[in-house]
Structure 1
Amino acid sequence: METVEDVTRMRLVGGNLALDFVNTRTGPPAGAPDDDVLTGYAELVAWGAYAGALTATEATALRRLAREDPAGARAAFARALRTRDHLDEIFRTLAAGKNPKASALDRLRDDEAEALGHARLDPTNGYAWSWRDDRTLARPLWPTVHAAVRLLTTGPLDRIKGCGGCRFLFHDESKNRSRRWCSMDDCGTAEKTRRYVAARRTRTAR
């Protein structure tokens, strides 16, 4: 079973908060995921603090609230997983060069409407949206869904890609849009090693 420590060891390679949220499930490029670092509300809060969706103070307050309301924490966690499902559907479809289903976009719209209901325009941050309410268990989702909407509405969407070695999604910010891997330290290195071994076998066979 994954732990809070496992959450803080995962690589944040998506280039966008929403993509990093989708990337909390791991597995091969195609097919179903084979692991999930989010196994409960505590891990969701740990991810939010690690990814920058929550401050340390907000995370502490949410942990305390979850202890006081375990049923509410379970419900908030289940909702977070549903949100992750439709974000995965939207961005994985875009990475494949297709248009997401209207139903998935409608769910994101509804999530964004709720998020903005808890937001305020912060003049200290260039009048950007900010969330200061740490008394609601759904708090980790608000900046996440807002990041998803911003990515969809500002694009460019053809920079949303899937890693060639795993199921991670990322926003390709390279100048020539040539990024193929979630990280050269992980899947990129694994592919280089595979090619090296294959080349050696070919030379040996000759």
Structure 2
Amino acid sequence: METAGVTRMRLVGGNLALDFVNTRSGPPAGPPDDDVLTGYPDLVAWARYAGALTEAEAATLHRLARDDPGRAQATLARSLRTRKQLDELFRALATGGRPSARALARLRDDEAEAIGHAQLEHEGGYAWSWRHDGSLARPLRPVVHAAAGLLTTGPLDRIKGCGACRFLFVDESKNRSRRWCSMEDCGTTEKIRRYVARRARPTR
């Protein structure tokens, strides 16, 4: 039941929360011009695609959403508000600024709510796992937890914005030289643009 827009996305953020922010696309500056999350089924499809839900969990959420479309729509609206807040928070860090106190307080509250629905399990080490309790907010909980983890453990100095689009990512290159969300997309496009611009310059 995944939508084509979701499955065409590149997961290039290096963190689940940044990949969630990157569900909106557009130029590096200014407002986004496209959004793959246009309905609750898209949210579930994205979470499954990003590895935040199992196939069985996604199927259950789709069924619950069909049974209660009003609650599904309200959950989507909440998720989009959370995405906007995470966008503002991590974009501030990517540009050398600091998140607002309001954004930090919101993330604190969201993380407290998410952890209240988690449990610790041992799989080669202890880690949080997320109970499926029939809540349509289930896809959002690991996103919020990933955001809190990135903010508190970093590396904050490696959070960057793509030079050609609005995507955010964690620069994991050894020399911290990554400039693009993806060389296959924005990197290649920008190189072609610069090549064409050079060829168009008049020769002396």
Give the TM-score normalised by the residue count of structure 2. Answer: 0.97
The gaps in structure 1 that reach 5 residues or longer are none
Q: 2:203: which partner in 1?
A: 205
The gaps in structure 2 that reach 5 residues or longer are none
> Are residues 1:54 and 2:45 paired?
no
Q: 1:169: which partner in 2?
A: 168
Deviation at residue 47 of structure 1 after TM alignment: 0.3
Q: In the TM superposition, what are the counterparts of 1:23-102 in structure 2 within 5 Å?
A: 23-102=22-101
Deviation at residue 124 of structure 1 after TM alignment: 2.3
Letter in 1 for 2:203: A
Deviation at residue 115 of structure 1 after TM alignment: 0.4
> Are residues 1:132 and 2:131 paired?
yes
RMSD, aligned α-carbons: 1.1
Deviation at residue 198 of structure 1 after TM alignment: 1.8
Higher mean displacement: 81-90 or 123-132: 123-132
Distance 1:13 1:134 in 2: 30
Q: Look up the SS of the partner of 1:20 in the other structure.
A: helix
Deviation at residue 134 of structure 1 after TM alignment: 4.8
CA deviation string 1:41-72 (max 9, x = no partner): 00000000001111111100000010111111
Distance 1:71 1:194 in 2: 46
Distance 1:109 1:34 in 2: 29
Counterpart contact for 1:80–1:141, Cα < 8 Å:
yes
Distance 2:65 2:9 in 1: 23
> Are residues 1:20 and 2:19 paired?
yes
> Are residues 1:180 and 2:190 paired?
no
Deviation at residue 200 of structure 1 after TM alignment: 1.6
Deviation at residue 125 of structure 1 after TM alignment: 5.3
Higher mean displacement: 123-132 or 5-14: 123-132
Q: What stretches of structure 1 move > 4 A for 4+ residues in a row? A: none
* Identity %, equivalent residues: 73
Distance 2:124 2:17 in 1: 20
CA deviation string 1:66-94 (max 9, x = no partner): 01111110111000001001000100000
Q: Look up the SS of the partner of 1:129 in the other structure.
A: strand
Equivalent pairs counted in the alignment come to 203
Deviation at residue 201 of structure 1 after TM alignment: 2.0
